[in-house]
Structure 1
Amino acid sequence: MSIVAWIVFGFIVGVIAKLLTPGRDPGGCILTTLIGIAGAIIGGYAYSHFINPAYTTRFDAGSIAVSVLGAIFLLVLYRLLSGRRL
């Protein structure tokens, strides 16, 4: 994927993660994008190493779901570490 595609994908994943995670979040567009990109990387890594070793990186519903789960994990971790209420 190109860098622009990663940024767009990260923003979409970050927005979905914020919508699915209850509570207020102080982050703006940049933080949403960074959490989405990092969530996609962490979610894909965890899925390919622990659940399905044959998983390849492709753009489909499964990759979006794995990325959103990774972003939700990071968002909850961010809120816990920053002292924000869940």
Structure 2
Amino acid sequence: MDAPSGIISAIVTGLVIGVLGRLVVPGRQAIGCLMTILVGLIGAAGGLAIANAIDAAWLLTLLLQIGVAAVLVLITASATGRNQ
């Protein structure tokens, strides 16, 4: 895979996982689009690391990625103090 398509797919994955993580968390989080992508990227990587450690199937991997992103959304929203 060449670098531009890898970067684009990582950004899209981060956005999707970040949005799904925000949807799981109740209430409104005003953390912005860039922070959502960043949280999604970190959540996707963290969930993937956990899934690889326990040798999880693809569905559990996805759920772990969303779960890690949701926890990061909670932490980020409370750290910035912009929970609404």
Q: Do they superpose with TM above 0.5?
A: yes
* Separation (CA, whole Å) in 2 of partners of 1:4 and 1:64: 19
Asked whether 1:80 is paired with 2:78, we answer yes
Aligned AA (1:72): A
* Separation (CA, whole Å) in 1 of partners of 2:18 and 2:48: 15
* Separation (CA, whole Å) in 2 of partners of 1:28 and 1:79: 10
Kindly indicate whether the alpha-carbon contact (under 8 Å) linking 2:44 and 2:68 is maintained by their aligned counterparts in 1.
Answer: yes
Larger proportion of helix: 2
* Separation (CA, whole Å) in 1 of partners of 2:48 and 2:66: 10
Identity between Structure 1 and Structure 2 (%): 29
- Which consecutive aligned stretches of 4+ in structure 1 deviate over 4 angstroms post-superposition? none
Aligned residue number for residue 71 of structure 1: 69
Aligned residue number for residue 26 of structure 2: 22
TM-score computed with the length of structure 2 as normaliser: 0.76
Q: 1:24 Cα deviation (Å)?
A: 1.5
Judged with a 3 Å threshold, the aligned counterparts in structure 2 of structure 1 residues 85 and 26 are, in CA distance, closer, same or farther, namely closer
Kindly indicate whether the alpha-carbon contact (under 8 Å) linking 2:47 and 2:68 is maintained by their aligned counterparts in 1.
Answer: yes
* Separation (CA, whole Å) in 2 of partners of 1:85 and 1:16: 17
**Runs (5+) with no aligned partner, structure 2:** none
Aligned residue pairs total: 80
CA RMSD of aligned residues (A): 2.2
**Runs (5+) with no aligned partner, structure 1:** none
Aligned residue number for residue 35 of structure 2: 31
Q: 1:85 Cα deviation (Å)?
A: 4.0
TM-score computed with the length of structure 1 as normaliser: 0.75
